[in-house]
Structure formats: C-alpha cells, structure tokens
Amino acid sequence: MITPYQQAGYRVRVDWGPQGADAVGAGAALVAVVDVLSFTTALTVAADQGIEVFPYRWRDARAFEFARSHDALLAVGRSEVGPAHPVSLSPATIRSAAGVRRLVLPSPNGSAITQRLAEAGATVVGVSLRNAAAAAAWTVAHLAGADDAVVAVVAAGERWRADDTLRPAVEDLWGAGAFVGALAGHGFGPLSPEAEVAAAAYQRVAGRLPQALQDCASGRELIGYGYPQDVAIAAEVAGSRVVPVLEGVSFRPQRLA
C-alpha cells in the first residue's frame, strides 16, 4: 500500500532514520545511506584503501564471532584503540591502518540502517560528503535506461542517549543534500519536497562546510571528545571518487572511470 510517507511520484526521496528508510526505501531501485559523523565517512575512507567493509549493528559478542567467520578485523570503540586494536569507527584510524583487507564496522545508526535495508533486498550505497558527487555519477550510470527508477536517500541521524529516540543531525542533511544536488545536476529527478530541502540546506553551507561541520552539534561533540581529525576528514568534500556498494553482507569499492 502506498502511503504519503513514501513520497510517491518523485524519483529522488529523502527521509530520516530506520523508519524513514522503511518508508522511502520501499520499491526504490537504490538507497543511499548518509551518516557523515561517522559511519559513511569511515566507509569511504576504507573504500579508498580497497578495504571490504561488513556493516554490523552492535559491537558485542556476536560481532566478534561475525568478524571471525569472515576473517575480518573488528573495529573497536574510539577509546579502545591501541596497538592490539588499531581501528575504530574513527576515519583517522582507518586511514592510518596497514594491512587491513576486511573490516567489520559496527554503528548503531548508519550500519544498522544499512543492515535493515539489505535484509529487505535493497541495493545500498554509502554516501558521505567525501564521495557524494562520485556516488551520484555512479548512480546515474548504474540506473541508465531505467527511466522510472527511484533513488531513496536516508539521513541516518543520531540517537538521544536519554531515550534512544532519533536526533536529526544536520551534517547528515548536508550529506544527503550534496548527493541529491549532484543527482539533480545530472538531470535525475524530479526531487520530492523533502529532497529539495536537503539540497537547499547543503547549498547554504557549501562554501563554508569545514567550519559548519566543526560548529554543528555532532562536530562539537566529537571535537570535545578529542577527535577533531574525524571532523576534518568528514569535511573533505569531493575527496573520494570511490563508491561503496553493498554486495551481500559487505560493502565493496566501486571506482569511477
């Protein structure tokens, strides 16, 4: 049954979080997941290095077993990084890692949404500010000839610690808007009103993106915890031409020609 929340009639649709993914992802040919601080930024850094990434909802005992079964390194919490556990969700640790071929990357937001969509049979790509333009170009080429193909964009958002409800995170709106705007630049549309708002939000800050990321709530939080480098990496607009595409249970890098 078509609902108003599906944004039917538009080829590019945007919504928030797991429930939004269910709404706009229904029937979509492709779903772009955006979690700028930090899952999809970490994902694109890994893709740049040719690392196969396995998304996982939680870092628990099952995650250890999942990593072992796929001969992959399990990313730890940021505060747990050390010689024995060199990689976390921090993009900086992935960039500095050596010899990693497969990585399990737990995240309660972007990774959890990705798994939810994959279980529903969706084609999923990881989008950040670093690769939004490349992901849009890849998407248009991938869907060439399918004139009615729908692209859903899911801004992951964060969770309020008090009650685990969704906290819309402006950096994910900007990342979604960068991708949507690039799609529109290729003539891919029409955009839903929600998608138009995302594109407009990105254009508002595009000329001062690094400072805007530092100043937004999530950026301030990461900087306050001692991870300013992760915010700086997230602000590398168009710094990557690699598109992580979910194939089975893992993201594999797809490079533009």
pLDDT tens digits along 57-95? 888 889 999 999 999 999 999 999 999 899 999 999 999
Provide the mean pLDDT of the chain. 96
Note whether residue 162 is domain-resident.
yes
What is the rounded CA–CA span in Å between residue 110 and residue 102?
18
Note whether residue 186 is domain-resident.
yes
What is the rounded CA–CA span in Å between residue 237 and residue 129?
5
User: Helix H segments across the chain?
Assistant: 17-25, 39-48, 61-69, 91-96, 110-119, 132-142, 170-185, 193-205, 209-215, 217-224, 228-234
Note whether residue 73 is domain-resident.
no
Q: What is the pLDDT of residue 59?
A: 82
DSSP state of 141: H
| Domain with 211 in it | 4-50+109-248
Q: What is the pLDDT of residue 11?
A: 98
Note whether residue 75 is domain-resident.
no
Note whether residue 45 is domain-resident.
yes
Q: What is the pLDDT of residue 1?
A: 74
pLDDT tens, residue by residue, 210-220:
999 999 999 99
Percentage of the chain beyond pLDDT 70 is 100
Q: pTM to 2 decimals?
A: 0.97
Is pLDDT at 257 greater than 90 in this prediction? no
What is the rounded CA–CA span in Å between residue 147 and residue 183?
14
Note whether residue 255 is domain-resident.
no
Better pLDDT: 256 or 83 = 83
Residue found by looking up tokens 């906290």 in the block: 167
Domain count, the chain: 1
Note whether residue 39 is domain-resident.
yes
- Indicate the SS3 state at residue 96: helix
Radius of gyration of the chain (CA): 17
- How does residue 184 score in pLDDT terms, banded at 50, 70 and 90? very high
Instruction: Please name the amino acid found at residue 139.
Output: T
Note whether residue 257 is domain-resident.
no
Is pLDDT at 119 greater than 90 in this prediction? no
Instruction: Please name the amino acid found at residue 249.
Output: V
- Mean pLDDT to the nearest integer, 33-57: 97
Is pLDDT at 233 greater than 80 in this prediction? yes
Number of other residues whose CB lies within 10 A of the CB of residue 96: 12
Q: Can you give the CATH number for the domain in which 207 is found?
A: 3.90.1560.10
